[in-house]
Amino acid sequence: MDRIRYDSIGPARVMHLYDPSIPFHAWLVIDNTARGPALGGVRITPEVTPEEVARLARTMTFKSAIADLPLGGGKAGIVFDSRDPDTETVVRRFARLIADIGDYIPAPDMGSDETSMTWIRQETGRAVGLPADLGGLPLDQLGATGFGLAVCAETVCRHLDMPLAGARVAVQGFGNVGSAAARFLTQKGAVLVALSDRQGTAWNPQGLDLDAALAARASGDDPVAAAGGSLLERDAIFGVDCDILLPAATADVIREDNQQQIRARMVLEGANIPATLQAEKALAGRGVLVVPDVIANAGGLIMAEAEHRGADKDEAFRRIEEKLLSNTERILVQSQQEGRLPRQTAERIARQRVLQAMGNGGRPRAVQRLSTSSSSGSSRN
């Protein structure tokens, strides 16, 4: 955990959870709660690290602040393969370990979904992104983040004076975010020329068969094969000739050593922290506009906050549209005026809001004892 960065905002708590009976490790990072409870996803992958969870928790703090939601930022990571048949047992045990961390609200992320949120809700009494029959707004099923990304794309296109209709889109990672973004973008007239998942990239400059890819994904088949076109290796997606590149998988996939392959005019960060800061700077230097995660993929968070307040689906979509449009416009204009990257401007505004809340009665909450009453091991860093 020596690579976790601590600063004037947080993280307030870094918890290592271990259940020897399965066994599995998990991490929970509460970055900051000055503006409200820490809402953030539960990532379940074999590769997740405490550093990744801490960076993602900070992203949530900034995303909530930029969207002006009464929330802080947190994130959990369970080191496990969510395709394993023991996933339910692991998720339920994880939920019991965090049951008394009342200012963390779990939400879906990579490897978790409405079903996992139901298990967590049953064990802890809290979670968002629940199925509709439990009174939730199933944000992945509804495509909240993908919808927001399409609004963001439309706004950036207006800013660049280019039409979204006919724009060529490449989507990396055909999961909840990537598939929904592809659906909403093509509804607005964009053309899906490439999509990738773990198994490879499908590419057709004339447009892929999105319906076939969506149907394959829904039935557990391979969307890359179903989409038609040429089959390329997985990371070939970054070099595809397109207007909009939309990373929607995992962290740090765009780095200084591969950013030069990118031929898109803009990168919309559907995933959280998909690019390193050095890569974002290099892309900006080549005239590629990068809309950072804290702006572009806020749709799911906005819907989760609406669900937490008891708002309905229509209000949630309305708020996503309003906030994505105004925040994207504001960041594009302001970053241009400041001569900074959109990320730098967005994070400066977010940091200011969080610090203000910390100083103005938004007191950092009392640090809880990290050991739980269960048999788990916990440690603070």
Feature table: binding site for NAD(+): 145, 176
Closer residue to ligand NAD, CB minimum distance, 197 or 243:
197
Q: Which distant-in-sequence residues (6+ apart) come within 8 Å of 348 by Cβ?
A: 340
Collect contacts of 83-87 with beta carbons under 8 A, ≥24 apart. Answer: 86/22, 87/44, 87/116
Name the minimum Å distance from CB 264 to ligand NAD.
16
Instruction: Return all residues near 273 (Cβ < 8 A) that are at least 6 apart.
Output: 52, 55, 56, 59, 251, 252, 293
ω into residue 11 within 30 of 0, thus cis? Answer: yes
Q: Which is nearer to ligand NAD, 3 or 198 (CB)?
A: 198
Between CA 40 and CA 127 the distance in angstroms is 10
Radius of gyration of the chain (CA): 20
Residues lying near ligand NAD in the complex (CB under 6 A)? 41, 108-111, 139-140, 144-145, 172-178, 196-198, 234, 248-250, 270-272, 297, 300
53: which 2 tokens? 């969870």
Give phi and psi for 373, each to the nearest 5: -80, -10
Joined tokens for residue 96: 């019991």
Give the contacts of 237 (CB within 8 A, at least 6 positions apart). 170, 171, 172, 194, 195, 196, 201, 203, 245
The residues assigned a catalytic role are: 75
- In this structure, the dihedral spanned by the alpha carbons of residues 218, 223, 226 and 229, taken in order and rounded to 10 degrees, is 150
Residue 364 CB, nearest approach to ligand NAD (Å): 25
Minimum distance of ligand NAD from residue 290's CB (angstroms): 15
Q: How far is the CB of 56 from ligand NAD (least distance, A)?
A: 7
In angstroms, what is the minimal distance from the CB of 310 to ligand NAD? Answer: 20
Please state the closest distance from residue 313 (CB atom) to ligand NAD, in A: 14
Our CB check for ligand NAD shows the closer of 110 and 331 to be 110
Sign for the CA dihedral angle at 80, 82, 83, 86 comes to positive
| Residue closest to ligand NAD when measured from CB atoms | 175
Number of neighbouring beta carbons within 10 Å of residue 165? 11
- Annotated binding residues, as ranges? 63, 145, 176
Q: Quick one: tokens of 307?
A: 């669900």
Orientation of helix 176-187 relative to helix 210-218, angle to 10°: 150
Which residue, 109 or 305, has its beta carbon nearer to ligand NAD? 109
Task: Report how far apart, in Å, the C-alpha atoms of 108 and of each of 45, 311, 339 are.
Answer: 13, 18, 35
Q: What residue numbers does the annotated binding site for substrate cover?
A: 63
Amino acid at 10: G
